[in-house]
Amino acid sequence: MDVDAASTPIAAATEPKPSYVKLAMRNMVRKRGLSLQHFFLTTVGLLAVFIGLAYLTR
């Protein structure tokens, strides 16, 4: 049995996991165009909902 192979899971277990924010930022940089597209679609969708609610409740 190799000593390095036995200690690898222990070393991986003590290594801290990257935070959710760090993973999200890395994903956003990797998929730049898609993130911007989703951001603008969300913005337009929210504006449509707010304008529609304002129209219905006037």
Per-residue pLDDT at 51 exceeds 60: yes
Q: Which two tokens stand for residue 1?
A: 């049995």
* Residues 32 and 25: beta-carbon distance below 8 Å: no
Q: For residue 15, give the 3-state DSSP assignment.
A: coil
28 CB-contact burial (10 Å; exposed 0-12 / middle 13-18 / buried 19+): middle
Chain mean pLDDT for the chain = 83
Confidence at residue 35, expressed as pLDDT on a 0 to 100 scale = 82
The pLDDT confidence band at residue 14, using thresholds 50, 70 and 90, is confident
Per-residue pLDDT at 46 exceeds 80: yes
The pLDDT confidence band at residue 48, using thresholds 50, 70 and 90, is very high
